[in-house]
């Protein structure tokens, strides 16, 4: 039967060591962390023996190996850990194996790498996979989770609630973003179960919050008049972020009339457009499509007319809207600048001072 004990390690005697007798045996008296402590001497009297911080036990495993296992500095906790280990060994001897035992103390960082790879293998984009794993990383760091056994719903719910109470200027977020974090955590927990890393998901009971209660950003589509003003502001504007006014205007028109995302638009070349087919099409390669497949999007006849003139001066093999604007905030900068220009023109067109004052506080 394994018994708990504290292993000792020999240390060389310091110069002018104070030796005294205790219980009939020689000990050295020294100071550690402001306290006076006694340690027994070795048999040859040339070293002193200092016990380890953690309790340990010499355990014989199911395969016959005998190994010293260290547990906890707390004796009660060490006793519980030893009991669990002995129970596991007895189960293994009886042919009952805990298939999750090898994963319980695995670092979460390792599991998140596996999970991110799994998300990518399911045909998600690299960005989507990284974002999902990154949200989990943020929550785990905030809650102090390091290993799989640390995962707990209660601290996560408390952290999410705290973030919802915190203003955005101080790092908080609203209910919609909170639900995005919840979705990532639930997906990670479901993967843990499917991948046989744990028996049940630790996040299955995290509730959704009502995203309509606290809307941090009011969003709405542009009206036809507003969209026309945006296009005109871009077309009459100069070069910005490497795009001419005409290129920005066509970017907004194609985006508005096809519904393509920024990454899909950034992948387009002149050859992506088939204007002579019936119906005319724009083709998005599977690598860039949000559906992760080759997409063919029909084009409105009015858009086809605009595209013929604009594409005529474009090189066949070059991207129509090159650069990294779709991956960073440049797309936001583009549209904000042109919206600001359109708004200023709208205010200027007011028929009188009273109407101009009414338009001034409105958000475009």
pLDDT in tens, 57-69: 999 988 888 999 9
Which pLDDT score, from 0 to 100, does residue 330 have?
72
Helix, strand, coil fractions of the chain, as percent rounded to 5: 45, 15, 40
Which pLDDT score, from 0 to 100, does residue 159 have?
94
Please give the CATH number for the structural domain made up of 224-357.
1.10.443.10
Lookup: tokens for 358: 């009414």
Across residues 332-351, what is the average pLDDT?
81
Which pLDDT score, from 0 to 100, does residue 18 have?
87
The H or E element containing residue 153 is helix 153-165
Which pLDDT score, from 0 to 100, does residue 364 have?
41
> How far does the chain reach from its first CA to its final CA, in angstroms?
77
Whether pLDDT at 1 is above 80: no
What are the backbone angles phi and psi of residue 12, rounded to the nearest 5°? Answer: -65, 145
* 37-96 pLDDT, tens digit each: 888 898 888 889 988 889 999 999 888 889 999 999 999 999 998 998 898 888 878 776
Q: Tell me the domain boundaries of the chain.
A: 8-98, 108-194, 224-357
The fraction of the chain above a pLDDT of 70, given in percent, is 90
**Model pTM score:** 0.51
The H or E element containing residue 83 is helix 75-93
């Amino acid at each position: 039967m394994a018994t708990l004990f504290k292993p000792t390690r020999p240390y060389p005697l310091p110069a002018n060591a104070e030796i005294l007798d205790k219980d009939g045996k020689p000990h050295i008296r020294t100071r550690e962390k402001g306290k006076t402590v006694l340690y027994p001497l070795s048999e040859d009297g040339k070293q002193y023996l200092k016990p380890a911080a953690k309790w340990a036990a010499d355990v014989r495993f199911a395969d016959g190996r005998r190994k010293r296992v260290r547990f906890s500095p707390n004796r009660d906790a060490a006793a519980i850990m030893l009991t669990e280990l002995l129970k596991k060994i007895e189960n293994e001897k009886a042919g009952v194996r805990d298939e999750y035992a090898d994963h319980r103390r695995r670092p979460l960082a390792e599991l998140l790498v596996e999970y991110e790879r799994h998300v990518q293998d399911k045909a998600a984009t690299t960005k989507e996979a990284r974002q999902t794993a990154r949200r989990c990383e943020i929550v785990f760091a905030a809650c102090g989770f390091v290993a799989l056994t640390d995962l707990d719903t209660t601290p996560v719910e408390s952290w999410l609630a705290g973030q919802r109470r915190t203003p955005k200027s101080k790092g908080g977020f609203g209910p919609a973003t909170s639900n995005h974090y919840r979705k990532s955590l639930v997906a990670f927990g479901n993967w843990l179960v499917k991948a046989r890393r744990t028996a049940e998901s630790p996040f299955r009971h995290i509730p959704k919050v009502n995203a309509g209660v606290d809307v941090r950003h009011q969003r709405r589509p542009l009206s036809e008049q507003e969209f026309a003003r945006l296009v005109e502001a871009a077309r009459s504007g100069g070069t910005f972020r490497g795009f001419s006014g005409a290129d920005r205007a066509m970017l907004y028109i194609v985006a508005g009339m096809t519904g393509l995302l920024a990454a899909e638009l950034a992948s387009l070349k002149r050859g992506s457009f088939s204007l002579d087919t019936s119906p005319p099409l724009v083709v998005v390669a599977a690598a860039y499509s949000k559906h992760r497949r080759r997409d063919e999007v029909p084009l409105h006849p009015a858009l086809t007319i605009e595209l013929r003139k604009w594409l005529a001066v474009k090189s066949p093999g070059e991207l129509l809207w090159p650069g990294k604007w779709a991956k960073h905030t440049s797309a936001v900068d583009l549209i904000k600048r042109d919206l600001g220009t359109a708004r200023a023109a709208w205010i200027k067109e007011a028929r009188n001072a009273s109407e101009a004052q009414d338009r001034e506080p409105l958000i475009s």
